[in-house]
Structures are given as C-alpha cells and as structure tokens.
Amino acid sequence: MDLYEHQGKDLFERAGIPLPERAVASTPQEAAEAAERLGGHVAVKVQVQMGGRGKGGGVVLVHSPEEAAREAARMLEQGFGGAPVTRVLVERLVDIAAQFYAAISLDRSEGTYLAMVSNDGGIEIEEVARTKPQAIRRVHVHPVRGLRPYQARRLTGHLPPEAREGAAEILTEASSVLEQTDATLIEINPMVLLTDGTVMALDSKVTVDDNALFRQPDVAALSDSFPIDPIEQRAREAGLQYVKLDGEVGIIGNGAGLVMATLDVVKQAGADAANFLDVGGGASAEVMATSLEVILSDPSVRSVLVNIFGGITRCDLVAKGILEALERVTPRVPIVVRLDGTNAEEGRQILAEANHPKIVPAATMLEAAERAATLALEGAA
C-alpha cells in the first residue's frame, strides 16, 4: 500500500524526523488559509500515490495565499497522471543549502533491507546511480538488528560535515518507521541541509507491505482516503485482482502468472486484453459469477476468455459458477471457456449439457485465445 506524502510525513513526525511546517488542504480556500498561516511563501504539492510530481506540475512554489488557492484549484480540478486528486499539501518554503537522497528499501535478491544515501540529490537519482555510483553509499540492514549507529555513520560519511549528524539521525529514525509500520520502502528525495544547519525531509514516499496490514490497523485505516474505481472496488470486495486495460477481450483466469500468460497469448492472436482478472485459488460459483459481472460491465469488452487450470480450483465448480452467473447477467458477447486440470472432464461435461448459446468451449489455451480474439474482432467490426 502506497501512502500519500502527507501520511508518510505524519509517520516521520512521530518518529522525530525534522520536517517543514505544513498543512493538508482539500479546497482552494483551505489552501489559501494554510498559505496565509505559513507566511505566504509555500509549496503546493499534489497528493497522489505515484512519483514524477516535480516534472509533471504537481509541485508548485507560490508566494501568496491567492496563488496557493489558484494552484490548489487547478490540481483538485485536473487531477494528476490520470488519478483524481482530493487534497494538496501546503508547505512552508525553506532555505536549502544542499540536497541529498536517502532511502531504505527491500532488496529482494538479498532478502533483506538496503539503506542508501546519495550526496548528489535532486531529481535524477537513477542517472546518478548509473553515472556516479560512488555518490551513493549502500548498507544492508539486518531484519532483526535494524540499522546500527555505525551503519548510519557510514551511510552519511560522504555528506558535508555539517550534515552528517542530522542525516544519520534521520536514517536511524526512518529505519524505526520501517520496522514499526512493516514498510518495504521509505524514500526521502530530497533530504536537505538548510542554511541554518538543520537536516530535514522535504518529501516522503512510504510503501507498506499489504500482507502485514492485519497487524498495522492504524496504517490500514489510511486507505480509506484513497480514490478507487467503482468496478475495481467491487472486484476487490469479492477478493479478485482486477486491473482495467485498453483492449477488447475480457480475461478471467486463476493465478497471476497464468493470467499474464493469457494476456500474452491473446496479444499474439491479434487482439488486446480488456483487463487482468485473477480469481485466485478455489474459484467458487459465487466468485465466477461476480467476475463475469465485473468483466461484462466494461462496455469495451467484445468477447470473454475464461482460462482456468485447476489445481486447488475445481473445474466442475467453475463450470457451475459460469452457468449460475449467466442466470444473473445476460451476456451480450460470447464467452470462450477453456478448462484443464482438477475435474476438467466434469466441468466440460456440465457446460456441454447446458448448451448455452453464448458459451464457446475450447480445448487448449492457444485455441481459446485464438477463438476469443477472432470473436472480439468480428464483434467490433
């Protein structure tokens, strides 16, 4: 789960990390009031769950409450990167002497956390990583011992002398936020040295492990503020992984890898997938019915491809689920069904007996993809 900047900063503040004075605003009026209170010279920052704000006009420096209101109005109205915007962060401008980059992140290949500090801050940190790798110090953080003080000293030892102590404290505090919230990423870009000698975090990017939300109720509650597409919401409530795409073949499959492979095979057959939908393990009749409803509610869908390889999932139950769904929803497009694995024979038998006019059985994944692609392109013509 990706947090908004202001939510990450609230976690930072509780851990003792120095931050600029700031306020969250959800209307232009609130933005103006916040700017007034913070002295007029502020940054107005769009709050979204993605990066690239600086380049995309999502962070604007202004010098009056009126300007703050105008920028806030623009951001709230236009959204950012295709996502709706419900709030902005208004933050007092600070006098920056130097900019750095700091992060603690999961290192998948080592199976533990990696802390990194660059003495060359600013936006293009990936460029720094490629062209000036010596600018970035890296230290692996043991998942039980956490970041040790000597490691924080090592990480910050290439910064200007006056920044080292403050930066090391921020790293230590960020490590405790990571531990206490089950975060897999904490990124501070930039971490800055001010002209008065203070080191502070100007930005926050925090990603929390979804698998740990059961023991992080306070963090989990933050998701209430995230905008969600109504169809995705419906899918999520049914325990389905659904992502809307741009094509015309609706896809239902079990297991993320198989669904991704299905997308690839449909593409090879000359069509594009309208979505990614993974029903997970143990697809019941209820789950199949909801999946079909979700897919068919997308007007761009011209055919549906159900690709199930039964392991835990039983194909006879999938077949019953499809038939049950067709009692609830009247399909406007053909549904190609391919069943294999556990109880596949029984499942195919059930569908054959039902002899539904919209169901097109297919023997293999490849054949199913080709049929679905052809039907979708015919339907679109």
Partner 1 sequence: MAILVDAGTKVVVAGITGSEGTFHSLRNRAYGTQVVAGVTPGKGGQDVEGIPVFDTVEDAVEATGANTSLIFVPARFAAEAIYEAADAGLHLVVCITEGIPVRDMAQVGAYLRGTDTVLVGPNCPGVISPGSANVGIIPGEICAPGRVGLVSRSGTLTYQIVHELTQRGVGQSTCVGMGGDPVHGLGFIGSLERFEADDGTDLVVMIGEIGGDDEERAAAFIAERMSKPVVSYIAGFTAPPGKRMGHAGAIITGSSGTAVAKAEALEAAGVQVGRTPTEVAELVRFALS
Which residues are part of the catalytic machinery?
A: 101, 187
Query: Of the candidates 26, 27, 176, 207, which one interacts with partner 1 according to CB under 8 A?
Result: 207
Per CB under 8 A, the segment of 35-43, 149-157, 169-177, 334-342 that binds partner 1 is: 334-342
Q: Which of the 8 DSSP states describes residue 170? A: H
The rounded distance, in Å, linking the Cα atoms of 306 and 309 is: 10
- For 246, the enclosing helix (H) or strand (E) is none
- Residue closer to partner 1 (CB basis): 67 or 278: 278
Q: Which of the 8 DSSP states describes residue 214? A: G
Cβ atoms within 10 Å of 210's Cβ, excluding its own: 13
User: 302 to 331, contacts with partner 1 by CB under 8 A?
Assistant: 309-312
- Residue closer to partner 1 (CB basis): 214 or 299: 214
Q: How far is the CB of 162 from partner 1 (least distance, A)?
A: 26
Residue 120: alpha-carbon gap to chain centroid: 27
Per CB under 8 A, the segment of 18-26, 63-71, 129-137, 153-161 that binds partner 1 is: 129-137
Query: Of the candidates 220, 245, 329, 377, which one interacts with partner 1 according to CB under 8 A?
Result: 245
For the chain, how many residues are written?
381
C-alpha dihedral, 112 to 118 to 122 to 125, nearest 10°: -50
Q: How far is the CB of 142 from partner 1 (least distance, A)?
A: 6
- Residue closer to partner 1 (CB basis): 67 or 113: 113
- Residue closer to partner 1 (CB basis): 28 or 255: 255
In this structure, is the dihedral angle defined by the CA atoms of residues 260, 262, 268 and 273, taken in order, positive or negative? negative
- Residue closer to partner 1 (CB basis): 34 or 275: 275
Query: Of the candidates 238, 261, 285, 377, which one interacts with partner 1 according to CB under 8 A?
Result: 261
Q: How far is the CB of 218 from partner 1 (least distance, A)?
A: 16
Q: How far is the CB of 207 from partner 1 (least distance, A)?
A: 5
268 binds partner 1 (CB under 8 A): yes
- Residue closer to partner 1 (CB basis): 23 or 263: 263
- φ/ψ of 227, rounded to 5, equals -75, 140
**Coil, helix or strand for 78?**
helix
341 binds partner 1 (CB under 8 A): yes
- Residue closer to partner 1 (CB basis): 34 or 315: 315
* Contact between 191 and 185 (Cβ < 8 Å): no
215 binds partner 1 (CB under 8 A): yes
Contacts with 178 (C-beta within 8 Å, 6 or more apart), sequence order: 104, 113, 186
249 binds partner 1 (CB under 8 A): no
* Contact between 137 and 128 (Cβ < 8 Å): no
Task: For residue 183, give Cα distances in angstroms to 143, 199, 201, 251, 266.
Answer: 12, 23, 17, 32, 36
Q: How far is the CB of 36 from partner 1 (least distance, A)?
A: 32
Q: How far is the CB of 80 from partner 1 (least distance, A)?
A: 11
- 315-352: buried (b, 16+ CB within 10 Å) or exposed (e) per residue? bbbbbbbbbebbeeeebebbbbbbbbebbbeebbebbe
C-alpha dihedral, 29 to 31 to 36 to 42, nearest 10°: -160
126 binds partner 1 (CB under 8 A): yes
User: 98 to 117, contacts with partner 1 by CB under 8 A?
Assistant: 101, 103-109, 111-114, 116
175 binds partner 1 (CB under 8 A): no
Is the bond preceding 84 in cis, omega lying within 30 degrees of 0? Answer: no
Query: Of the candidates 39, 57, 143, 149, which one interacts with partner 1 according to CB under 8 A?
Result: 143
Q: Name the one residue in this structure whose structure tokens are 């139950």.
A: 317
Residues that bind partner 1 (CB under 8 A): 2, 49-51, 81, 101, 103-109, 111-114, 116, 125-126, 129-130, 136, 142-144, 179, 182, 184-185, 187, 189, 205, 207, 209, 211-212, 214-215, 243, 245, 253-258, 260-261, 263-268, 272-273, 276, 281, 309-312, 340-342, 364-366
